[in-house]
Amino acid sequence: MTVNRTPSKVEFVADNQRMVRWTEFRLAADAKAQAWLDAHPSAEPRVIAFDVRRCCGGGKICQVSVRNLAKKDRRDGYATGTLDDGTTVLIDRKAAARLPSRFRFTVRGLGPMKHLDLDLDGEQWGALLYD
């Protein structure tokens, strides 16, 4: 996948934390992801969540997931992406600062464990999880 350009960004402070708000994310869904989205409709936007935890040895564990919007989520804490069909996706601000402006969704897993996931190359995963 080729990233055409870096989106413009605006830095501001929210809740006493510096935050980068990307002005444009263009997302695509491969055939499997589009079929999954059609089979699992949602009235609320989906969320690309980014969770960082420290383990007992001081290591950092990063997890990225695509999930439904939760009641506790504040929409102003997310950047916005748009799928080709106009569907809105909210992107965690920590992930938004590290993701390319264009990326795709795919489906991973087997049977009942199938889930929506990001389709990134190795360098993009590395930047997202370890930068």
**What CATH code is carried by the domain that includes residue 85?**
2.60.300.12
Angle at 30 between CA 28 and CA 34, to 5 degrees: 90
In tens, the pLDDT along 102-120 reads 999 999 999 889 999 999 9
Query: How confident is the model over 33-83, as pLDDT tens digits?
Result: 999 999 999 889 999 998 888 887 777 777 888 999 888 888 888 999 999
Q: Output 114-122 pairs: Cβ under 8 A, ≥24 positions apart.
A: 114/36, 115/65, 115/66, 116/33, 116/36, 116/37, 116/46, 116/66, 117/66, 118/48, 118/64, 118/66, 119/1, 119/30, 119/33, 120/1, 121/1
Rounded to an integer, what distance in angstroms lies between the CA atom of residue 25 and that of residue 90?
Answer: 10
Q: Does pLDDT of 4 surpass 50? A: no
Is residue 15 situated within a structural domain?
Answer: no
The helix or strand, by DSSP H or E, that contains position 93, with its residue range, turns out to be helix 93-96
Predicted pLDDT of residue 37: 92
How many structural domains does the chain have? 1
Flag whether 14 is in a domain.
Answer: no
Domain extent at residue 69? 24-130
Q: Which two tokens stand for residue 80?
A: 């916005």
Give residue 22's pLDDT: 52
Degrees (nearest 5) of the Cα angle 130, 8, 46? Answer: 65
* Domain-embedded: residue 12: no
In a domain, 58, yes or no: yes
Nearest residue to 79 via CA among 49, 120, 34: 49
Q: What is the pLDDT of residue 7?
A: 47
pTM, full prediction: 0.76
**Residue 100, pLDDT above cutoff 60:** yes
